[in-house]
Amino acid sequence: SQQGEEDPQALSIQEGENATMNCSYKTSINNLQWYRQNSGRGLVHLILIRSNEREKHSGRLRVTLDTSKKSSSLLITASRAADTASYFCATDAQSGYSTLTFGKGTMLLVSP
């Protein structure tokens, strides 16, 4: 079953603009992760935020987590054409297993 759902499904912006993607999930989690996938390639881990954290930064990435609303957002500031990719959120389950459940992803297109 799909735990995380990203919104929007697709996003098109110009270079230099900010891009915001949202993820909603259904059950309680230990942590939430964001991944990036370039076309035809594997996923690359971007950032992990624990359930007791509200915000985390990594370079031009900012992730927020609101466990009361069961939602997270990924903000990419000052987007570049090289940021064009699909972005996925992934959640674990508090049941104790180390498997992740991925959402369907947001496809981001950054035009020069």
Q: How many CA atoms lie within 13 A of 59 on its CB side?
A: 6
Query: CB-wise, 88 or 110, nearer to another protein?
Result: 88
Q: Which part of the chain contacts another protein (CB under 8 A), choosing from 17-25, 57-65, 75-83, 88-96?
A: 88-96
Query: Is 105 a binder of another protein (CB under 8 A)?
Result: yes
Q: Is 60 a binder of another protein (CB under 8 A)?
A: no
Q: Is 59 in the site for another protein (CB under 8 A)?
A: no
Regarding 41 and contact with another protein (CB under 8 A), the answer is yes
